[in-house]
Structure 1
Amino acid sequence: MGKFDGKVAIITGGGKGGGIGWGLSTAFAKEGCNLAITGRNLQKLEDAKAELEEKYGVKVLPLQADGSDEEQVAAAVKKVAEEFGRIDFLINNAQNSASGLTLVEHSKEDFDKAIYSGIYAVFFYMKHCHPYLKETKGSVVNFASGAGLFGRFGQSSYAAAKEGIRGMTRVAATEWGPDGINCNVICPLVMTSQLAKWKEEYPEAYAKQIGGIPAGRFGDAESDIGRTAVFLCSEDASYISGETITMQGGSGLRP
């Protein structure tokens, strides 16, 4: 028996690929939660469906959807509601951006990429999921970043999008509290397949990065980040709302 048996989560960017989304999908599936996973790569979503259903006995609905397109988001949310009859949790993880460019190197198109795949996608999913979350007294977990919290070099559009998401989440916590919906943000530092590749190619740079993390490691997408998202969606966290959880192994200290 899992704590989320019979419940339903939408996880954006939840396909298989060694990232945060896959860790989130796995953590929620282990709690018996049925999933609707969205993304741009249908094959990654189908691969995730096959593995999650076989291992954990949950039902997984893969949905290829562009989060920056409100009509596609509305159609996806409607399909989830028709398929499962409810929506309990919304986990907004997906984001695209032109990382590594300085602010003056950014074009409007670069900024649009981050803003539309970030702020607009989160806005559209929250807006269209709200009626269902109100029925279930559900939860929202949005993802932001230390790039915005700490002003990291070469991350201006990404940071702007993520800080916009944080602001919107806090407003939603205020407006949706009377509906029984809690809304929170996670800012993670996570080991991904891309980071693992970087570690192999640049071991000295990786060692330097690790040296700045008191915990001595990057977070695990499932056991660290996924489990925290599970907690924030559980009854144990129903009184936590409007908060930013900085998961950076001690390197993301803030007042």
Structure 2
Amino acid sequence: MKLQGKVAIVTGSAGGIGRGIALAMAKEGAHIAIVDVNEEKGKETLAEVSQYTEGLLIIKDISLKENVYEIVAEVVKKFGKLDIMVNNAHVSRQAPFIETTQDHLDLSFGTGFYPTFHFMQAAYPELKKSQGKVINFASGAGIDGQVTQTSYAAAKEAIRAISRVAANEWGPDGINVNLISPIALTPGVEQWRESAPQLYDAMINKIPLRRLGDPEQDIGQVAVFLASADSNYITGQTIMVDGGSIKLR
């Protein structure tokens, strides 16, 4: 029970990687605030989390700054503190670089970068009290410059940048700030596998471990590590949880 009694906010946790992280942390004893806009799926995650720990479902649009501060306040009111901030939520649209529009950029930054930035600011006072952990999300799309991913890659690399700054500034406060760059078999990827099996197989063959990560068992367990005392001497790092696809130097 590495996270016994800890309190975590996990954005975008109604499904996919966020759900996997919420479950992995719940099984290690953390109380989980599930933050999403999908109420139906959010209730399903809450029911799963509640088998192991106390959960809280918050249905709010995190692209609105005022909602972010309200979420942090609601979690602290409910549980009395905040130890772990997981900024997982992000929405984007693919397009070739030359066809990327302002709307594409606004969507990606508005759902990914700005909520991450605002949650970090809103959570800071509580994380300073608890000497807590921030877990943000990077992507191979930005690190490797994947085609058609201009808006997503830009937002993810911006998140990496502010995470490094915060790691330097907040280190003296005992706050760790790290990133996970994952590849995972989410429901969306499963649908793509069914519709384009040859492309899926080609992708798998480029991964040294020849499989996609499991949201809970692979990505979630690394999140647990970064949220626990086991990672107390790690900060400002991007952890590649991608089966060996990208080797950072």
Please indicate the TM-score interval, normalised by the length of the shorter structure.
Answer: over 0.9
Partner of residue 106, structure 1: 100
> In the aligned structure 2, how far is the partner of 1:125 from the partner of 1:4?
21
Shift of 1:225: 0.5
Partner of residue 35, structure 1: 32
Shift of 1:5: 1.6
Partner of residue 210, structure 1: 204
What's the CA shift string for 1:92-128, capped at 9, x where partnerless? 00001112x1122122111100011111100110000
**Which amino acid is 1:76 matched to?**
I
Q: Secondary structure at the match of 2:57?
A: strand
> In the aligned structure 1, how far is the partner of 2:84 from the partner of 2:206?
34
1:239 matched to 2:233? The reply is yes
Partner of residue 59, structure 1: 54
Q: Secondary structure at the match of 1:217?
A: coil
> In the aligned structure 1, how far is the partner of 2:97 from the partner of 2:108?
13
> In the aligned structure 1, how far is the partner of 2:182 from the partner of 2:224?
14
**Which amino acid is 1:116 matched to?**
G
> In the aligned structure 1, how far is the partner of 2:231 from the partner of 2:2?
13
Paired residues of 1:67 and 1:124 also in contact (CA < 8 A): no
Paired residues of 2:178 and 2:226 also in contact (CA < 8 A): yes
Partner of residue 14, structure 1: 13
> In the aligned structure 2, how far is the partner of 1:171 from the partner of 1:75?
25
The equivalences for 1:88-237 within 5 A come to 88-99=83-94, 101-237=95-231
Shift of 1:176: 0.5
1:80 matched to 2:111? The reply is no
TM-score, normalised by the number of residues in structure 2: 0.98
Aligned residues: 249
CA RMSD of aligned residues (A): 0.9
> In the aligned structure 2, how far is the partner of 1:210 from the partner of 1:44?
28
Paired residues of 2:33 and 2:55 also in contact (CA < 8 A): yes
Shift of 1:37: 1.1
**Structure 1 segments (4+ residues) deviating >2 Å:** none
Partner of residue 50, structure 1: 47
Shift of 1:51: 2.1
Q: Secondary structure at the match of 1:215?
A: coil
Shift of 1:88: 0.3
> In the aligned structure 2, how far is the partner of 1:141 from the partner of 1:35?
14
Q: What are structure 2's unaligned runs of at least 5 residues?
A: none
TM-score, normalised by the number of residues in structure 1: 0.95
